[in-house]
Structure 1
Amino acid sequence: MRTHGTALGTLMLLATAAGAARAEGDDHMKLSRGLPITLDDAVPIEAGSRAVKLRFAYERQDERNRYLPDAELEIGVARGWAVKLEPRYAFGNASGTGRGAFNLSVEHNVLELSGTRPGITIEPGVTFPFGSGSDAVEAQIELRATQPLGSGPGAPRLHLNIAWLHLFDRESDERANRYSAAAGINLPVAAATAVAFNVVHEQSREKGKRETYLEAGVRHAFDDKTALAAGAGFGLGPDSADFRLLVGLQRSF
């Protein structure tokens, strides 16, 4: 617990220090998976815009290490519509490493966030594995909701993510269908800096196992196109990683 407290405390100090810089708009209040925590918001990318996201996660479980780099290209193809391309890989000496996956998904914003009105987005997708001991193809669909707690651009926001995943050609000890859910809040601590907190619960692919995490993170917007984020979390229960660290950079064009 001392390590967990130190990591989370460091994030809060970074948020306070980064608040000296200023950025226009509410880019610091945006959330994207791994930037800085698992939560994703329901705010769509603008039509014609592109965003590149570079993320790196580290997990420690049973004295073994798992490193998870990934990149994502998000393209706004029309108002309320976006396409996402995401290659990712896992390496280290923990289970599930030495392999990667390529995810293709389509995001549709069915209700635009405005004032105190919530935003709602759905995102279906499919994941294709590659590498040593590749797994089966998996399809997923996620529902995301964001509820502002005020009408201003700096108002705190509540978030809920619920996803259903289906595994094709599964092994006998794997679930055909599973779900994941995350809920949390983000709020500004300075003109260009926000902190975020969430709880994540997901069924593991292996039958009988599930993972739960508590996470906290900070996101700082240098301007309306560039944001840097860092997060940390610790697992609850025997199937979860002991702790995880996340860092990421987002650049919009």
Structure 2
Amino acid sequence: MVAITDKEFKQLTEYIKVNYGIHLKEEKLMLLTGRLQKVLQQEGFNNFTDYYHHILNDQTGQAVVTLVDKITTNHTFFMREADHFYFFRDRVLPFLANTVQDKDLRIWCAASSTGEEPYTLAMVIDEFFGKDKVFWDTKLLATDISSQVLDIAKKGIYSNEKIAPLPKHWKTNYFKKHDNENSVLIDKIRNEVIYRKFNLMDTTLPFKKKFYTIFCRNVMIYFDYKTKIELVNRLYHHMEYGGYLFIGHSESLTKEFTKFKYIMPAIYRKE
């Protein structure tokens, strides 16, 4: 196993924090080195200094892609924090249905991981609008910094165990058998989600229109205070008035640094 020095750990974690907002404290040293061992072996590096310089000098960008895929935690599942989806169905969608004049819902899943969150929202939307859905632009934007998880999400293939928490009629109406152990989303739902690679640390968000709903859940727990403030302010700026922000239940926003109004745990609104 290739050991990492304090200097190397500081160099690597500072690079990760500056470029991706992820704050890895000293207690994450073993986690970081463990996740990168195979990369160093495959690339033939005997120390983390050479690996660090490889990341800085790699013109292809593949070294950074690999690093991001290794350090990010993509733990998610269908109906995670289910009360959010019920609130979205019972409060947000009726509000949007009655107020959005151009019939463009403009919903963004800012850390989509392997797709369970945006696909759940797509199924909620499909069921809510029913036959009237044809009159609306219901496509969702789903972004993540990891190319690996985006590739998984685009396929829309999930184990039968993973889709078990979903309502029975959803599993019947929105999935078809892929093989004995997996199911695949039907095109009607899979095509509702537009996947893009995006780094939340980018100071300029490349979106022409503002959003009515942003899901940015279980991301800011990895950010330090300053990074969190800056991100929330950008999200606020890119949201329409009356729009909703959903964050993770282990996260919170304080009045001292955000204009978002608290609605209920992990749900905020721009008013």
TM-score, L = length of structure 2: 0.27
Q: Which has the larger radius of gyration?
A: 2
Instruction: Specify which structure has the higher proportion of helix.
Output: 2
Instruction: Specify which structure has the higher proportion of strand.
Output: 1
